[in-house]
Amino acid sequence: MTAFKVWLNAARPRTLPLSVSGILVGTAMASMYGQINNTIFFIAILTTIGFQVTSNFANDYGDGVKGTDNDNRIGPKRVLQSGLLTRKALKNGIMVSVAINLILVLCLLYVSFGHDNVYWGILFLFLGGFSIWAAIKYTVGDSAYGYRGLGDIFVFVFFGLVGVLGSMFLYIKTIPLVALLPAISIGLLSVGVLNLNNLRDVESDRLAGKNTVVVKMGFAKGKLYHTLLLMLSFVCTGVFIVFTFDKYVQFICLVAYVPIFIHLRFVSKTGSPQLLDPELKKLALSTFLLAILFYFSYIYFL
């Protein structure tokens, strides 16, 4: 395997569409208030992808060092686990990724706030730094929050609230209360992807001492929790459409929930964690589909 393919594998490309979903939704809502800026949109997409790649590198490193990624794990082999990268090389990759992230954050803040909104710029710079910290500390270090069942909270906050509301604020410099609904919806679906990952890895996580929410509540209750997350997301999206209704094209967003409900039916019936691995891609892409439909219905048809 070439060096490029090794690093591409470490970056986990299949996770990247999910990471940009919040930016798409936040941008679409900003357009409702008459604000479109392609430069902000482009840099915001690059920034959130950068955060996700950093998180993936750090996750590979943290789980590899702790021994969580081992032969008992069901999912794809990781680069540190399989020996494709050394600890030093992957650690250096994390540092380079963090440096790129900081550059992107500074560019994004300059384009959005310029010299006229210095205080907002400082606040978002702090938020960007905290995002990088959260990306790394999910599995890295003795106090990694992913090992204490806190991953769901952080994913909800950063993929949902920060991703959607933060990106919207970059355009319009305010956050309408109704914007909370799609932010919550994307956040819940993102937590659903993490929860599905934890359902798949429940046995290997338990053996490795990784106390995810699923490990704490058990596989059966974890599936009920999964259903609750996705159903609440559907409700939030539907209520938002009703509150902001202008044209019937807005309801096209709900098409994305068809594969999500099919996925839910499968998850509810399976008793084998091994069978859940293919569902991860389906749920992540369904969330991305929701964001894409939301983006086009609100930007091009309203």
Structure tokens at 65: 């060092």
Distance CA 281, CA 263 (A): 11
| Backbone angle region of 67, left / alpha / beta, with phi > 0 → left and psi within -120 to 50 → alpha | left
164-200, pLDDT tens digit by residue? Answer: 999 999 999 999 999 999 999 999 999 999 999 999 9
Distance CA 187, CA 72 (A): 29
The torsion angles phi and psi of 256, rounded to 5 degrees, stand at: -65, -20
Per-residue model confidence (pLDDT) at position 185:
98
What value does the mean pLDDT take over residues 215-231? 96
What value does the mean pLDDT take over residues 212-219? 94
Q: What percent of the chain has pLDDT over 70?
A: 95
Q: Which residues contact 170 (CB under 8 A, 6 or more apart)?
A: 26, 30, 40, 44, 108, 112, 124
111-167, pLDDT tens digit by residue? Answer: 999 887 888 989 999 999 999 999 898 888 778 898 888 999 999 999 999 999 999
Structure tokens at 270: 């399976």
Distance CA 269, CA 87 (A): 40
Per-residue model confidence (pLDDT) at position 54:
94
pTM comes to 0.93
Class of residue 1 by CB neighbours under 10 A (exposed 0-12, middle 13-18, buried 19+): exposed
Answer yes or no: are the C-beta atoms of 188 and 260 closer than 8 Å.
no
From residue 240, give the alpha-carbon distance in Å to each of 22, 180, 246.
15, 9, 12
The torsion angles phi and psi of 154, rounded to 5 degrees, stand at: -65, -40
At residue 63, does pLDDT exceed 90?
Answer: no
Structure tokens at 95: 């540092």
Per-residue model confidence (pLDDT) at position 207:
85
Q: Which residues contact 32 (CB under 8 A, 6 or more apart)?
A: 244, 298, 302
At residue 92, does pLDDT exceed 90?
Answer: yes
